[in-house]
Structure 1
Amino acid sequence: MPEELYTQALALLQKLIATPSFSKEEAGTAAILNEFLKKKGITVHQELNNIWAFNRYYDKAKPTLLLNSHHDTVKPNAGYTRDPFAATIESGKLFGLGSNDAGGCLVSLMATFLHFYERQDLKYNLVLAATAEEEISGRNGIELILPRLGNIAAAIVGEPTEMHLAIAEKGLLVLDCVAKGKAGHAAREEGVNAIYAALPDIEWFKSYRFEKESEHLGPVKMTVSLINAGTQHNVVPDTCHFTVDVRLTDAYSMEEVLEVIKQHVKADVTPRSTRLKPSAIPKHHPLVQAGIELGRKTYGSPTTSDQALLPVPSLKMGPGFSGRSHMADEYIYLHEIEEGISLYIKLLEKVIIN
C-alpha cells in the first residue's frame, strides 16, 4: 500500500471530523468529499448530500462492485470530555465524532478506490458512494441514488468490523400495536380494560420462539419496548398502545414474520416500515472467499446498516470496533485505518484482478 494513500486518508478524515455532519445536515462534509475527488481529476456526481464516482475505465458490459460508507453522524452524547470536532491524535488514536463510525471506513474505501481508479484490467467496475442519512435509515441516503449507480452485482459496506467479514445482518421491524377495550367507571363493573386485553399479546411477544434460527444471527428477537394507556385513574381505558421492536434474521422474510405475529395476537398490528430487511451473503461468494483467504473471520452482525437497503449481496467490513460507535470520546486507532486500506486492496485484488 502506498504510504501516500494512508497519509491522504488520515488528513481527509480529520477534515471530516472537524465538520459537523449530523444526519440530514451533511452538506459540509459532502462539499469536502466532492472537492477531494475533483482534485484527483475524478468526475464526481452528487444528489443532495450523496457523493459517488466511477472508475476511469468504467465499462457497462462489466458487473459493478459498490464501495459504500456514510459520512453522517449521530449527535455527540452528554458523556463527551473532549471536543467532538477537534480531530486530535494522541497515543496512536484519532479522537472525534464519526472517527470510528464510519469515517475510518469511508476514507479507507476512498483510498482503495483511488488505488484502482486508473486500472484497465479490472473484471468489475468500481463505484464509490459516500452517502448520507445512514444513522437514521433516511430515504435521502443510499436508497435515493441506487438507480444512478448502474448494474451493481455486489457491495462492500464500510462499517467498523475490525476488518472481519459480517456476512449476515439483522433487519429491523417496528410494530405499533393497539389492543381495544371499552371505557367504563373504575369503581363499577363496567367496561373492558384494554390494558388487560393487551397482556396476553405482550406475554406472547415475550415467550414466543420462532422455529427456525439463522446460522449466523441466531433467533428472531422480539421486545415490547413502549406502552401507553389510560387518561385518568378512575376510567377503564378503552385502548392500549404498545410498540414492539423485532430484530429479523435471514431465516425468515419480513412478510413471514408479520404473518406469524398477526396469527397469534389479537391487537391491531401496524408495521411502521418494511424497508430494513435482514441481509446475508453466501459464504461461497467471491468477496467472502477472498476475505477468508486473507485470514478474516465470518460472523453475523446484530446491528443495522445501509446493507438493509441494498438489493444485492453485500459484505459489511471495515476498520474500527463496533463497540466504540456512538460512545463518548469516540476514536479509531491509526493502525486500524492503515490496515483497513491494505486489506481492502488485497481483498479486491483477489476479486477484481484474478
Structure 2
Amino acid sequence: MVIKLGQTERLVEEAIVLLRRLIETPSFSKEEDGTAQLLEDFFNEKGIPFERLKNNIWATNLHFDITKPTILLNSHHDTVKPNKSWTLDPFKAIEKDGKLFGLGSNDAGGCLVSLIATFCYFYERKDLKYNIIIATTAEEEISGKEGLEIVAPLLPNIEFAIVGEPTEMHLAVAEKGLLVLDCTAKGKSGHAAREEGDNAIYKALKDIQWITGYQFPKVSPSLGPIKMSVTIINAGTQHNVVPDTCVFTVDVRVTDQYTLEEIIAEIQQNMQSEVVPRSIRLRPSSIPVDHPIVQEGLKLGRKTYGSPTTSDQALLDCPSLKMGPGHSGRSHSADEFIYLNEIGEGIAQYIKMLEGVVTQ
C-alpha cells in the first residue's frame, strides 16, 4: 500500500506536539502519573480504546483478530533525573536550530511518539495479516518491576516486537543482558599493628584480579565477549582494625552464548567470595538477521549491530528488534535533544518496514 503523504505529515505534527507535552511533564521512574495521563488523553482524543495498569498504557488495532499473530510496539515514558550540567530548563521543550531540547526528548520520547504515530497509521487498516499492539510503559530507566514486566503477561502471544530506543534507526538485532552480583569476601578481624586476623580486602582483591583477567571462552558474533566490571567496593571501619568483611559489586554484561545460570555457576566456581545475584530477569535478547522485519530494514539501507546497553527487550520472551530515532550518545546527557527531522524520518521508516511485513 502506498503511504499517504498527508496522513504521515499530520502524524508527524501530532507526534511532535505530544513530545513537547511529555517533555514538560516530569516523569521520573515510579513517578510517571503525569505522562501516563497525557497518553490517556492522547488516545481518548483519537478515539482509540486503551488499557491502563499503574502507569502503563496499551492499545490494540481496531480490527484485532485473535487468530492472527501479533506485533508489539513498545517504548517507555519515564526518564532519569537531570544532571547538574544542564544549562537549559530540562522541563521546557525548546526548539532551536532544528533540535527539540528537553529531558527525555531523545531517550526515549522521540521513539515513543514515533511508534505511537506508526500505530495510529495502521490502527484502522483492515488489510493486515498481523495485529499490532502499542505499549507505552514505565520504569524502564531503573529496570523496574512495574513497567513492561507487569504488562507483558496480559498481552496475547507476541510474534515479534520493536522496542523503541535511540539507535539512529539502525537495527540492533541483539542486546546484552545484565547481571548484577553482590560479592562478599570474609576474613577475620584483628589489630593492624600485629600479625592478627585475615584481611578480607586481600581476599577480595584476589577475586577481583580473577574478574579482570578472565574471559569467557564463547564470544557472540553480534555482541562480542561477556564483560565483567567491579563497580562498587566497601570494607573496613577504622585504620587500625583488619577488616573481616569486604563487599563488592560486579556488573556483568551477558551475551546470547550463555544462560545467566551458567555465568553465575562459572563465577562461583572460580571465586572465594560469596556470590549472590540480585536477579536473573534481564536476559540477553535477539532477532535473526533473516527475520522479515530485519530484512525490510536492510532494504532501506539500515545497518545491523549488537547493542551493549540493556533495555526493556530483556523482559520480552520473543524475538525483538531495538531501533528508534535519536542517538544513544545523547541519552542521559545535559541539554538532551532530538532533531525534529529524526522523528519524521523515524515514523516513515517504521511504516515502510511494517508495510513490508503486515500487508496481505
TM-score range, shorter chain: over 0.9
Deviation track 1:200-250 (CA, whole Å, cap 9, x = no partner) reads 111000100111111111110111111111111221111111111111111
Partner of residue 251, structure 2: 245
1:309 aligns with 2:315: yes
State yes or no: 1:164 paired with 2:164.
no
Q: Choose which of 105, 113, 118 in structure 2 pairs with 1:112.
A: 118
Identity %: 67
Aligned to 1:279: 285
- Determine the structure 2 residue equivalent to 1:206: 212
Distance 2:130 2:208 in 1: 50
Which ranges in structure 2 are unaligned for 5 or more consecutive residues? none
* Cα distance per residue 1:241-276 (max 9 Å; x no partner): 111111111111111111110111111000111111
Look up the equivalent residue of 1:24 and give its one-letter code.
K
2:162 partner SS = strand
Q: How many residues align?
A: 354
1:326 is matched with: 332
* d(CA) in 2 for partners of 1:27, 1:81: 26
Offset at 1:294?
A: 1.6
Equivalent residue in structure 2 for 1:232, among 231, 238, 253: 238
TM-score by length of 1: 0.98
> Corresponding residue for 1:290?
296
User: Are 1:138 and 2:144 counterparts?
Assistant: yes
Residue 94 of structure 1 is matched in structure 2 by 100
Q: Determine the C-alpha separation between the residues in 2 that align with 1:198 and 1:345.
A: 53
SS of equivalent residue, structure 2 residue 16: helix
| Cα separation, 1, equivalents of 2:194 and 2:149 | 54
Q: Structure 1 residue aligned with 2:161, among 155, 158, 164? A: 155
Q: Distance in 1 between matches of 2:92 and 2:185?
A: 50
SS of the residue 1:62 aligns to: coil
TM-fit CA distance, 1:303? 0.9
Which structure 1 segments of 5+ residues have no match?
A: none
Q: Map Cα deviations across residues 114-171 of structure 1 (whole Å, 9 max, x no partner).
A: 1000011111100000000000010000001112221111100000000000001111
- What CA deviation, in whole Å up to 9, does each residue of 1:62-121 have, x standing for no partner? 111000000010111111111111101111111110000000001100110010000111
Distance in 1, Cα, partners of 2:178 & 2:344: 33
- Determine helix, strand or coil for the equivalent of 1:9: helix
Q: Which amino acid aligns with 2:283?
A: K
Alpha-carbon RMSD across the aligned residues, in angstroms, is 0.9
Deviation at 1:285, TM superposition (A): 1.2
**Separation in 2, partners of 1:233, 1:85:** 46
SS of match in other structure, 1:292: helix
AA aligned opposite 2:256: D
Instruction: Quote the Cα distance in structure 2 between the aligned partners of 1:197 and 1:330.
Output: 43
Counterpart Cα distance in 1 of 2:206 and 2:90: 46
Q: What secondary structure, in the 3-state scheme, does the structure 1 residue paired with 2:354 have?
A: helix
SS at match of 1:29: helix
Structure 1 residue 184 displacement after superposition: 1.4
Give the alignment partner of residue 78 of structure 1, picking from 76, 79, 84: 84
The residue type paired with residue 303 of structure 2 is: K
How big is each residue's C-alpha offset from its partner over 1:6-41, in whole Å with a ceiling of 9 and x where there is no partner?
A: 111111111111111111111111111111111111
1:177 aligns with 2:187: no
Counterpart in the other structure of 2:228: 222
1:72, 1:61 → 2: CA distance?
33
Matched residues in 1 for 2:265 and 2:293: separation?
A: 34
CA–CA separation in structure 2 for the residues paired with 1:5 and 1:76: 29
d(CA) in 2 for partners of 1:341 and 1:322? Answer: 18
User: What secondary structure does 1:127 align onto?
Assistant: strand
- Secondary structure in 2 aligned to 1:145? helix
Partner Cα distance (2:173, 2:265) in 1: 26
Q: Which residue number in structure 2 is paired with residue 50 of structure 1?
A: 56
Output the TM-score relative to the length of structure 2: 0.97
Whole-Å Cα distance in 1 between the matches of residues 203 and 17 of structure 2?
59
Cα distance, 1:196 vs structure 2? 1.3
- Give secondary structure in 2 for the equivalent of 1:242: strand
CA distance in structure 2 between the partners assigned to 1:177 and 1:346 by the alignment: 48
